[in-house]
Amino acid sequence: MNTDSTKEQQVVEYAIEAQGLTKRFGNNIAVNQFDLRIPKGSIYGFLGPNGCGKSTCMRLLTGLLEPTEGQIRILGENLAGHEESLKQRMGYMTQKFSLYEKLTVRENLDFVGAVYGLSRARRKIRIEELLTLYDLEHQTKQFAGSMSGGQRQRLALACATLHSPELLFLDEPTSAVDPENRREFWERLFDLCSVGTTILVSTHYMDEAERCHALAIMEQGYKRADGSPKTLMETMPATVVEVSGDELRQLKQNLIQHSEIMSAAQIGAHLRVLVKQEVQDPLGFIKQLSAGRNAVLARPSLEDVFVACTGGRHVG
């Protein structure tokens, strides 16, 4: 294989490519100069607090909103001009439950199937498959409006995947779901991923973001960092030092006065301190400031990365 053909193959390997993606609402810039490359068959995460532009970005990528600036290519085609044909290949689960509360589970699925143009026979088979897969066999006659958060979410996922899309957008799919169901949900996402579906998922949970193959950390419409969770942790522009001892609250107040320190947060019996990269000996620097308390270097977490990238603001 020569280099040229490798390059060419890489072009089609991306499920989503966007350059300079910008969306303005009046004076408010919701998405700002966003570049994105999501390889096919991966799970990609948008991590950021409420209002940072996750939903807007997804709406731009699904063609629901027109970008103010920027180019979007979906599954190897320009989105502009191919919206209708691409719709058959994409699935979208909205942040707010967007199915019909006065229809039953089966009626909702049947409606979505018909709208996607599945034949009656195909629809029947596919709906049975999904009812089993998403554990909804016993709710087929229940109105969607009377279901629990977890059940609704499974129904919404079933509807979004009914036409077997190659690319799936999930906007904060687990925000109304308990932790147990969240774990199960992610198992299902990995199942979808293993059969080749590309998934773009937004979240404000660190533990979910950590499961993604790659993610973008977003703040106020900007992408602050991106890459795999591992890379992000290794290359973050700060060092983590954990301090333990007495009167940590007092110490925290002192530490955050120093411009070399990005943040200090009390976690259990420790104070977790982020020291900026430019400090030569971060451990020595903290030891000297913490007056005899015990200080050690710690492994960075995704939360640390987030704090380091966004300048100290907390998520969610």
Ligand X SMILES: Nc1ncnc2c1ncn2[C@@H]1O[C@H](COP(=O)(O)OP(=O)(O)O)[C@@H](O)[C@H]1O
Chosen residue from 35, 69, 83, 166 binding another protein by CB under 8 A: 83
d(CA 256, CA 239): 15
Would you list the DSSP string of 58-111? HHHHHTSS--SEEEEEETTEESTT-HHHHHTTEEEE-SS--S-TTSBHHHHHHH
Chosen residue from 11, 25, 311, 314 binding ligand X by CB under 6 A: 25
Chosen residue from 54, 73, 126, 182 binding ligand X by CB under 6 A: 54
CB 306 within 8 A of CB 47: yes
Which x/- pattern over 124-163 shows residues binding another protein (rule: CB under 8 A)?
A: -----------------------------------x----
Is residue 30 a contact residue for ligand X (CB under 6 A)?
Answer: yes
Which residues lie near Mg ion (CB under 5 A)?
Answer: 55, 95
Select the binding partner of residue 32 from ligand X, another protein, Mg ion, none (C-beta < 5 to 8 A, by kind): none
Nearest to 187 by CA among 131, 135, 127: 135
Which x/- pattern over 94-123 shows residues binding another protein (rule: CB under 8 A)?
A: x-xxxxxxxx---x--xxx-xxxx------
Select the binding partner of residue 51 from Mg ion, another protein, ligand X, none (C-beta < 5 to 8 A, by kind): ligand X
CB 198 within 8 A of CB 16: yes
How many residues bind to ligand X according to rule CB under 6 A?
11
How many residues bind to another protein according to rule CB under 8 A?
31
Select the binding partner of residue 63 from Mg ion, ligand X, another protein, none (C-beta < 5 to 8 A, by kind): another protein
CB of 208 to ligand X, least distance (A): 15
Locate tokens 């799970």: which residue?
43
- Token digits for 274? 């982020």
CB of 264 to Mg ion, least distance (A): 30
Alpha-carbon separation of residue 93 from 31, 75, 116, 288 (angstroms):
20, 18, 15, 51
Which residue stretches of the chain are H helix? 3-13, 54-62, 83-87, 105-115, 120-133, 149-161, 179-194, 206-211, 229-234, 248-255, 282-289, 302-310
Interacting residues toward another protein by CB under 8 A: 59, 62-66, 83-84, 87-88, 90-92, 94, 96-103, 107, 110-112, 114-117, 159
Binding site for ligand X (CB under 6 A): 25, 28, 30, 48, 50-56
